[in-house]
Amino acid sequence: MENRKVGKGRPNTANMVYGTRAIIESLDADREIERVLIQKGIQNDLLTELARSLSSRGIPFNRVPLEKLNRLTKKNHQGAIAFISPIVYQNLDNIITQAFESGRNPLVLVLDRVTDVRNFGAIARTAECAGVDAIVIPAKGGAQINADAVKTSAGGLNHIPVCREDNLKQAIDYLKQSGLTIIACTEKADRSIYETDLTEPLAILMGSEEDGISPAYLEKSSRQVNIPMFGKIDSLNVSVSSAVILYEAIRQRTT
């Protein structure tokens, strides 16, 4: 997909579809839609149909002021703008099944509310280099996968499967039921990654930049581990933390 600059201070419109009918047609054509903005305070049959279709497909959408839509495009958007994803989302069940059928212990990265696009891109770059089977993200509350994310990933997002899940809790349950150990990486843990077996089928859970892993997901983890800290700062950037634990897993699996 082309991603061109459209002038200083103007939004990049190369990955946008505007107009209610055009967005509905994009859905019917199975285009990968990242998210949709719908104008607050207006309602008609087409917008109702659009919202219903988005909900049934698990595609996030937000109600926003007219001014925000007008800042994004001067075209006749009819109260709705969609952002087309530069990647195709994958099916988590297929990925886990294929990993086991090939004789490999799956290695999956689950991201809880990692919202910074560049952090996400950096994580994807590391995960692709480490041979991670998939990155699992929530449909809502995560970073938008856009041209900046792809660029920061150095193209890694074109190669590593990304699974967007409506319900992250259910996705974690599925991974556990499939035989994966859920390892939550948190500074609150008493056990370090260097004291933990990371060679088994594994899903590594990383939390948000602000407040870490949600308590509900921590409760579902099989084990909680930390990355030892020896300086005066007590936490690492989430992309760095992801790299550290992923490559400890790779070290254990290749020695």
pLDDT band at 5 (very low <50, low <70, confident <90, very high): very low
* Domain range summary for the chain, segments of one domain joined by +: 16-84, 92-254
The burial of 101, by beta-carbon neighbours within 10 Å (0-12 exposed, 13-18 middle, 19 or more buried), is given as: exposed
For residues 198 and 11, what is the distance between their CA atoms, to the nearest angstrom?
Answer: 43
Among 12-21, 34-43, 150-159, 160-169, the range scoring the smallest mean pLDDT is: 12-21
CB atoms inside a 10 Å sphere around CB 38: 21
Q: Determine the pLDDT at residue 102.
A: 96
* Average pLDDT of span 21-31: 92
Average pLDDT value over all residues in the chain = 91
pLDDT tens-place string over residues 153-180: 999 999 999 999 999 999 999 999 999 9
* Tokens matching residue 97: 């099944």
What is the CATH class of 16-84? alpha beta
* Average pLDDT of span 225-239: 92
Report the CATH number of the 92-254 domain.
3.40.1280.10
16-84 and 92-254 have identical folds: no
pLDDT band at 13 (very low <50, low <70, confident <90, very high): low
pLDDT tens-place string over residues 95-154: 999 999 999 999 999 999 999 999 999 999 999 999 999 999 999 899 989 889 999 999
Residues 65, 67, 71, 75, CA torsion sign: positive
pLDDT band at 203 (very low <50, low <70, confident <90, very high): very high
253 pLDDT more than 60: yes
Residues 105, 203, 139, 239, CA torsion sign: negative
Helix (H), strand (E) at residue 173: helix 168-177
pLDDT band at 191 (very low <50, low <70, confident <90, very high): very high
